[in-house]
Chains A and B, each alone.
Chain A
Amino acid sequence: MQTDLSVVNVIKKFQDFTAVDSVSFDVEKGRFFSILGPSGCGKTTLLRMISGFFEPTGGTIEIKGKNMAGIPPNKRPVNLIFQNLALFPMMNVGQNIAFGLERQNEKRSVIKRKTGKMLERVGLPGFENKKVDQLSGGQKQRVAIARSLILDPTVLLLDEPLGALDLKLREQMKIELKTLQTQVGTTFVYITHDQSEALVMSDHVAVMNEGKFEQVDTPRNLYAKPLTPFVARFVGENNQWSAKITGIEDTQDERVAMIKTPEGNVFKTIFRENLNTGDDIDLFLRPESLLLEPDPSIETLNRFNIIVKSILFDGANSRILALLPESDREIQISLPQTRQFDHIQPGDKIESGWSPESGITFPREKVVP
């Protein structure tokens, strides 16, 4: 597979503040690559270096094997969809889309034909003469994408393009964007702070925090096997629980730890990190890996009692908010809407359980004072 974009040890410093810190990644041709991170972690800065608006303080950026150092944005085979879309209000939709082709001195007839085709492709046929401010949020979105895609860039960079849309439209545009990307086959680098956008659309996701990449992986792995506590917290929901290792059992293919929580629960969990008896750990449990009233016959389960505090109904995403008995530790547990658990009421004392395979453990993070 051909590598369209290769970023090696890229650093960006603003005076003495490091916004992007030794970031490296490769994106293969035709892939949908996302960079996921909280606000201010350096996503836009990284994208602006790829598009040429910032010169990296260190490291190299290669597009299709060609070093981009010193090449200005208007000469790079990448296009950027801005966080605020930046459609030109002084032009109509057709002129917006034709802008790039006109700069390449294309023939008028060619421009007209390509513009029409592009508008059809993004589902806005015949919109050439509309004014930009007559468009809805989703339509603006599509015009912005059409305006860049018409130049057939090697890589299309998208800076949180769905941020300004309402929830329903965002869900719809997510799917549309992915479909469009598959159709045109252009390499997309997409940045967002919304994990669902990243997980739904991407082939690979990089999780970014404070200028560094914490993990680059497939969405599935990111969710199932987070490599750092930050990824465990940031991608998907997680219950965080501190515990201490009281013993370690090594079997052939996995290592199992006995752990004890401050509340006195004793659990078994598999672990990947290098941990020893006596270590303090952080245990992460997904709400959906906690079972409600598990079948007593399953022997391997870790079991503990909870007191239901409240039921957070949210359709398929419903939760039980529960407390451990005689403690104020809160735990969120998925509440499957199968009617099986309809009898559960706030105040009930019930049993919950989880399988040792679903535990995610990390050495306790040193608390930064």
Chain B
Amino acid sequence: MEFTLSEERRMLAETAARYLRERYPLELRHANAARAEGFSPAQWREMAELGLVAALLPPEAGGLGGAGADIALVFEHLGRALVVEPFLATGVLGATPLWRLGGPEAGALLESAAAGATLLALAHGEPEGRYAPAHVATTAREGAAGWRLAGRKAVVLNGDAAARLVVSARVSGALTDEDGLALFLVEAGAPGLTRRGYGTVEGGRAAEITLEDCPAAPLGAPGTAFPVIEEVLARACLALSAEVLGLAETAKGITLEHMRTRKQFGRPIGQFQALQHRMVEMVLEIEQLRSAVMLAAARLGAPRRERERAVSAAKNLAGRVGRLVAEECIQIHGGIGMTWEHALPHYAKRLVMIDHLFGDSDHHLARFRDLGMAG
């Protein structure tokens, strides 16, 4: 058993913490989020140069880490600073299929992605699919001129700005079959690709995507992509759970400070036991989440069932704890916790909205139960 960080990870953590502390104040975060791309390409590149994107990928994919502990560490720090740059879309959702399935372009693309030069996105979820991991109606057909995709993809994170999209499509089987799925690489300028970009509630960007007879290059052998899709989602859920941990830590810190300084009835509101106990509840739940994130990070390389159970446990807790912390911190702040000008509500929004990505707490609860019974 070993709970201390390795030397490399300790340095990575320090690098991330220092950069975010010195170069990523909340006003800048808001300004980055308000740009057309939804982030700052310059800062994205700086963070990539520090190795924060490469840390999400293993050496064989041109990275410097790639283990669960690396993902958890990076995303916890991103959460602490409420970073909007496309770490998840590029470093996890887009890069993992390229690493796992290769293809002629994969090496160069991964290198460029890790350097912050090429933006990737995963177009997998569909308008009717909710959180079902194998729900894919988009079709792929091979013709004389190569593969062509047709279908619609929903809430594609950073899908509006991505230079390359990894798109899931079905070559055979029924709507929710795990067999018959394939992943493809689609160029941003491909004919037949339409993207409608928009902002999201917590300040990110996403896109609705329509594919009409859109040319695409297969990643791996079409029809067998589901295990990779599942692994991509597992890595994303770990990343998001760790992000919730970081967000919750900062929200807790801001709220503690408020409890110490805000005075009503002649004393700091932190002296009211009703509020003290609620803060303690939050601390307890955040510790539960921290442990669940550690477990999921440790099990990321384990056999499928073990990995998936640990990841669903973490994402379920992240959903529950995220909502609790968001709601309680706003409440303890009172009116000021409802204002755009204050930092806290922006953390609260991200804490809550992460539950809407890649399975909410109910989805992962059911999944955890189902995985347990199967074994």
Bound together:
no
**A interface, CB within 8 angstroms of B:** none
**B interface, CB within 8 angstroms of A:** none
